[in-house]
Structure 1
């Protein structure tokens, strides 16, 4: 029996990478999808793929979660279309590379606006609807939340805040029957790499180095593996799991690297 069939799933940052794959995996289970992203062209392509794979309905919302009131707009449009919500996937995120000595207020604000502030207020808006359906939330965090690399200070801080949010909100909404968890991936090659590397050679070198740091298989994670982990946490198989930040990293966090 398909437990997800007909459920309403909202996925942020779904125009590419991990978010797109999460939407695609849920589409195969015949859900009703609300997907958001900043790139309209890419979001349309993802929506079409989701429809082909079995999504019953797909709502596309162009939104920039670095801006105020976008969270409210996303939830409002989702509820207007579907009347309820069963699963919220807070996936949208950004990466900044900067040592403390070179960090700017603009970088700080953008990183925390997207990775933390947007999640807080989108979740706040969604809770009343998730309470009605006894739904659940899966946040996409990172193992960077608990390792220490000066080059990703702001990003790591934002993901540590997201982990704290996940655990604390899970406790707050448990009495409402809502579960809140996160998936914390190791390195996944996606388009976000453009924010880290300037040239194709740098990208290739970065990916080769990163793969050696994942003990299990000595390879980087795939978007499919992250999406499968999200599907598990959102499913009835994880009905007793809440407040968990699940490292999906081929053992990298065990090495401290």
Structure 2
């Protein structure tokens, strides 16, 4: 799946799925722009990309802030002259429920990053994707499909369910312009999510909840992203691809 001379923008690229995706696109010959909030981690991922391909464009930004989102697209197009693939991997997980009184502020924060920022970046990218007949791949979660049995997960699950619905709407609207939009829905993936979110559990907890008794590695999800972004998936749009080791089968 060569992406030689293609321009790929990956948000949430400082760690986890976003980082693995950026590295894999670089390995396949793409010109990659990587976006994240942690400059130190971005620098490390940039070095990994360069080992496998070309040095990426590094953009230290918060996708939830409109001015920074606009600058992300501006820098990418100014650097490379085009945009072929947008991978929306940036996402956060915060906890708040109705009865603990935290759900509204947590909802606002989570939705700003997990949904609104993606809608905004897709809108800003659309003219360039129409020109290149490119595509968008959004990163969701099995949380989009689950009833949040732990109340504190309600904002996160709602954000991912809404993201998948937005993806279908965007795919329908942009299809007449030759632009595809799809979703990858991972189950448990071994990232720094647990330590970043303060989730009270371990990867063994997630592993026990899968049918295949395993937790995925970020590169597995990255490979699926590359497939959906490639010409091999030219007939696929508005679709949700689940890679969860059978997590939904047991939950």
Is 2:218 aligned against 1:223? yes
Q: Name the residue aligned to 1:50.
A: 49
Partner of residue 244 from structure 1, selected from 235, 239, 250 = 239
Is 2:107 aligned against 1:108? yes
Q: Name the residue aligned to 2:73.
A: 75
Correspondence 1:22-41 to 2 at 5 A: 22-41=21-40
Q: Name the residue aligned to 1:84.
A: 82
How far 1:236 moved relative to its partner?
1.1
Structure 2: gaps of 5 or more residues:
none
Compute the RMSD of aligned alpha carbons. Answer: 1.3
Is 2:16 aligned against 1:17? yes
How far 1:3 moved relative to its partner?
3.2
TM-score normalized by the length of structure 2 = 0.95
8 A Cα contact 2:95 2:106, kept in partner: no
8 A Cα contact 1:96 1:195, kept in partner: no
CA distance in 2 between partners of 1:27 and 1:51 (Å): 7
Q: Name the residue aligned to 1:147.
A: 146
Deviations 1:84-129 (A, max 9, x none): 0000000000001222222243312110110001000100000100
How far 1:54 moved relative to its partner?
1.1
CA distance in 2 between partners of 1:176 and 1:50 (Å): 31
Q: Secondary structure at the match of 1:20?
A: helix
Q: Secondary structure at the match of 1:176?
A: coil
How far 1:66 moved relative to its partner?
2.6
Q: Name the residue aligned to 1:186.
A: 187
CA distance in 1 between partners of 2:65 and 2:106 (Å): 14
How far 1:209 moved relative to its partner?
1.6
Q: Name the residue aligned to 1:177.
A: 178
CA distance in 1 between partners of 2:19 and 2:219 (Å): 10
* Higher deviation after alignment, 154-163 or 97-106: 97-106
Is 2:152 aligned against 1:156? no
Q: Name the residue aligned to 2:59.
A: 61
8 A Cα contact 1:34 1:78, kept in partner: yes
How far 1:196 moved relative to its partner?
3.7
Q: Name the residue aligned to 2:94.
A: 96
Structure 1: gaps of 5 or more residues:
none
Across the two proteins, how many residue pairs are aligned to each other?
A: 248
